[in-house]
Structure 1
Amino acid sequence: MRKPRDYDAELKALDDRAKELKAKKVQQLGELVIATGADALNADELAGALVAIAETQDAAKREVWARRGEGWFRSKSRRSARTDDGNSSSSPAYSGGAQSPSGGEGAA
């Protein structure tokens, strides 16, 4: 006879994992804000820039921001590799596909 599944335990494990992933995402976003220098902005300025970028429907602007962010991540990883004396196991603090809120085309 098969052992019955403990659905409560499985749900709790999934909930714990979801909380873990959310905490990791929040930490990575915080690290990204610091790494880009956006922590010099006050909370209202940063929130305003992020709201503007989130509301932007202009695909061309979003593409420019995406390319700029991608370039930033590439240059950041190159600088990290150089300072690690060739240690290729290092990676940037946040390796997601986030876009830079300080895009050259403006966020409004």
Structure 2
Amino acid sequence: MRKQRDFDADLKALEDKARELKTRKVRQLGELVIAIGADTLTVEELAGALIVLAETKEAGKREALISRRISASGAFSTSARRFIISSVIGGSSNQVGVSNPTLPGNRR
């Protein structure tokens, strides 16, 4: 006879995993903000910049925003910036030619 599944335990495990992933995402976003020096911006300025990027649908304009030189952006390669931006706005990190970059100060 087959062992019955404990759906409650499975659901709790999935909820725990989702909570852990959300916590990690928030922590990584905070580390990113600090690493690029955006922690000097007000919350409104940072939110406005992210909204503009998230609302931009044209690939050319997105690329221009991504490659734009801002303070501390020289610390990241273009592929790292693409990965970071796509991660922040919910894109796939499994882009061709883009690997998970190491942020400055987090070298192992």
Task: Report the TM range for the smaller structure's normalisation.
Answer: 0.5 to 0.7
Larger radius of gyration: 1
Q: Encode CA deviations 1:16-75: one digit per residue, 9 max, x unaligned.
A: 001100110010011000000000001111111111111112321212334469974339
After the TM superposition, which of the residue ranges 11-20 and 62-71 deviates more from structure 2? 62-71
- Number of matched pairs: 82
- Where does residue 22 of structure 2 map in the other structure? 22
* Amino acid paired to 2:37: G
After the TM superposition, which of the residue ranges 23-32 and 63-72 deviates more from structure 2? 63-72
- Cα separation, 2, equivalents of 1:19 and 1:28: 14
- Where does residue 85 of structure 2 map in the other structure? 99
Report runs of 4+ in structure 1 exceeding 6 Å deviation. none
- Cα separation, 2, equivalents of 1:31 and 1:23: 12
Q: 1:74 aligns with which of 73, 77, 99?
A: 77
What CA RMSD, in Å, does the superposition of the two structures yield over aligned residues? 3.0
**How does the TM-score come out when normalised to structure 2?**
0.63
Q: How does 1:25-104 map to 2 (within 5 A)?
A: 25-67=25-67, 72-74=75-77, 97-99=83-85
Structure 2 gap segments, 5+ residues each = 87-108
* Amino acid paired to 1:44: E
* Amino acid paired to 2:77: R
Structure 1 gap segments, 5+ residues each = 78-94, 101-108
Secondary structure at the residue paired with 1:11?
A: helix
Q: Is the 8 A contact 1:38 1:46 kept in 2?
A: yes
- Cα separation, 1, equivalents of 2:68 and 2:85: 8
Change (3 A) 1:96 1:8: farther
- Structure with the bigger RCO (C-alpha within 8 Å, sep 6+) is 1
**How does the TM-score come out when normalised to structure 1?**
0.63
